[in-house]
Structure 1
Amino acid sequence: MQHAGPQGAHGSPETGVPASRPGAVRVPPQPRAADVDRGWRQGASGPTAREVAGAGARGGDARGEHTHSERPIPLPRTEQARPVVQRSSVRGQILDALRTALVGGELAPGEVYSAPALGDRFGVSATPVREAMQQLALEGAVEVVPNRGFRVVERGARELAELAEIRALIELPVMLRLARTVPTERWTELRPLAEATARAASTGCRATYAESDRAFHRAVLSLAGNTQLVQIAEDLHRRAQWPLVGAKPAALMADAADHMALLDALTAKDVQLVQSLTREHVTGAH
């Protein structure tokens, strides 16, 4: 996972690609996946430079900012398949870095950020940043501002309460079932993850704690054997973590302590205690 660094030199006006910097993630200008796929369907000729450029211009407004200086550069037919995978890898790294910045409050709620500016900050082109931001928009973390970029969503108390209520509705029945059915040794195997949340909380780093917190909950819910449930629960959990404003080390330590208490109750198969601890932990109603 890469963290956001200081903003570097601007890219050239011809390509919009930031100048090379030591340690920066570098990726060449690449066509969109839709253009590559269309090239395969058209046969050996592939999409023309005019078709690729036209597709980029048509998608500019939908992506959230002007793209006058971002002129797509078509690649030879033999190279078109490979950059899609490479770009996807870079996009994943940028997505992780943006999520970390969101949780840590580096990307401030209510502020608007453009893909080119963030791309320069991370040392990559605007394309993987824009794609990562579009994923965050689907997850409800940011919203598109036409011709400007992406605004970080401001979460109010009511929205956080609604997310907590939904999490409780999903996770509580599962935890009760697990308390009755999972062998003791399986809970023992999860103790290192609970201890990891305590160590993360002691650092005071909200982003580090958020990641370890999700890892613990994901491991517990995975024992239910329902992949879809785990994915939905983690999405809700992640939404509730953006941003962890005001989460001081003492609050993080208290949250981490809940994990050990919950494991103890699960190991003892104390269903009633599991119910109260889960509800309090998810909703924050201590």
Structure 2
Amino acid sequence: MCVYGAGRTSLDLTAPPVPPVPPVPPGGPVKPSARVPVQRSSVRGQVLDALRSALVGGELRPGQVYSAPVLGERLGVSATPVREAMQQLALEGAVEVVPNRGFRVLARDTRELAELAEVRALVEVPVILRLARTVPAERWARLRPLAEATVRCASDGCVARYAEADRAFHLAVLGLAGNGELVRVAGDLHRRAHVPVGGSADLVADAHEHAALLDALIAGDVEEVGALLRQHFGDAP
């Protein structure tokens, strides 16, 4: 079973129940000024995570049109948070709006994936090479659990969990630069670049590149770091 995140399952499996709306307290409704609008954003976030997982894992197939009410029923929520999540995914280029029908999942063709890999390399490689010359070994060593997590998720063969572990590792590395905008842009690019891959062997090979990269960073071997980064990003310039 491919489990997404902390106990969440992919869209084609039983979805987790959405937390119920808290009951009205005995003293009557809470004054508007005292309400904390946590519940709605929590539901929307859960739906967005579930849909992203389904896209990466291939449960939502490219070319297919999905309606918000149908997806909402499968997730156990109303159509509204599904529409909101799909609008966000449309902004990210993962789906497109089909008027009066729903949302069509877009396919990433080879050229688009190559372009995304090139842009990711242009963003990440110079930063990581600079960090390789300045960040002490003990700080790199703290990222070992994240690199090991990518290997575990890859071995499980769950694309959705691997995508999140992979993203966590890359953003933790870039986070050492102390630039929040860099991390945000890199995170957006990472989400757009992740698509279902050929199989668990591809995931495992990719994950072991993280471990090798971290070894080179800890050793301070900048030349090896550069070679591994070129390999990891598919020799993009």
Same fold by TM-score, threshold 0.5 exceeded?
A: yes
2:12 is equivalent to residue 25 of structure 1: no
Deviation string, structure 1 residues 27-46 (Cα, Å, up to 9, x no partner): 67xxxxxxxxxxxxxxxxxx
Provide the residue aligned with 1:117 in structure 2.
70
Match of 1:153 among 77, 88, 106: 106
Provide the residue aligned with 2:224 in structure 1.
273
Contact 1:5 1:122 in 2 (8 A): no
Deviation string, structure 1 residues 39-61 (Cα, Å, up to 9, x no partner): xxxxxxxxxxxxxxxxxxxxxxx
Provide the residue aligned with 1:244 in structure 2.
196
Provide the residue aligned with 1:59 in structure 2.
none
| Range with bigger deviation, 274-283 or 81-90 | 81-90
Name the aligned partner's letter for residue 244 of structure 1.
Answer: P
Deviation at 1:283, TM superposition (A): 2.6
Match of 1:171 among 121, 124, 146: 124
2:113 is equivalent to residue 180 of structure 1: no
Deviation at 1:272, TM superposition (A): 1.5
| CA distance in 2: counterparts of 1:265 and 1:23, whole angstroms | 40
Match of 1:191 among 137, 144, 147: 144
Deviation string, structure 1 residues 160-186 (Cα, Å, up to 9, x no partner): 000000000000110110100000101
Contact 1:168 1:283 in 2 (8 A): no
Deviation at 1:273, TM superposition (A): 1.3
SS of the equivalent of 1:283 reads coil
Structure 1 gaps of 5+ residues are 8-21, 29-75
The within-5 A match list for 1:201-212 is 201-212=154-165
Deviation at 1:24, TM superposition (A): 3.0
| CA distance in 2: counterparts of 1:117 and 1:26, whole angstroms | 20
The within-5 A match list for 1:15-54 is 24-25=17-18
Provide the residue aligned with 2:93 in structure 1.
140
| CA distance in 2: counterparts of 1:198 and 1:264, whole angstroms | 14
Name the aligned partner's letter for residue 176 of structure 2.
Answer: L
Structure 2 gaps of 5+ residues are 22-28
| CA distance in 1: counterparts of 2:178 and 2:39, whole angstroms | 32
Deviation string, structure 1 residues 119-163 (Cα, Å, up to 9, x no partner): 111111101110011111111111111111111111100000000
| Count of residues paired in the alignment | 222
| CA distance in 1: counterparts of 2:20 and 2:47, whole angstroms | 12
Match of 1:223 among 151, 167, 176: 176
| Percent of aligned pairs with the same amino acid | 68
Provide the residue aligned with 1:63 in structure 2.
none
Contact 2:44 2:81 in 1 (8 A): yes
| CA distance in 2: counterparts of 1:276 and 1:262, whole angstroms | 9
Deviation string, structure 1 residues 61-85 (Cα, Å, up to 9, x no partner): xxxxxxxxxxxxxxx9956985853
What is the TM-score when the length of structure 1 is the normalising length?
Answer: 0.72
| CA distance in 1: counterparts of 2:174 and 2:147, whole angstroms | 14
Match of 1:99 among 52, 70, 73: 52
User: Would you identify which runs of 4 or more consecutive aligned residues in structure 1 move more than 6 Å?
Assistant: none
| CA distance in 2: counterparts of 1:254 and 1:161, whole angstroms | 19
| CA distance in 1: counterparts of 2:66 and 2:143, whole angstroms | 39
Name the aligned partner's letter for residue 107 of structure 1.
Answer: L
Name the Cα RMSD after superposition: 2.2
Q: Rate the CA distance shift 1:200–1:161 in 2: closer, same or farther, 3 A.
A: same
Match of 1:257 among 177, 198, 208: 208
Deviation string, structure 1 residues 182-241 (Cα, Å, up to 9, x no partner): 001011111111111111111011111111111111111100100100110111111110
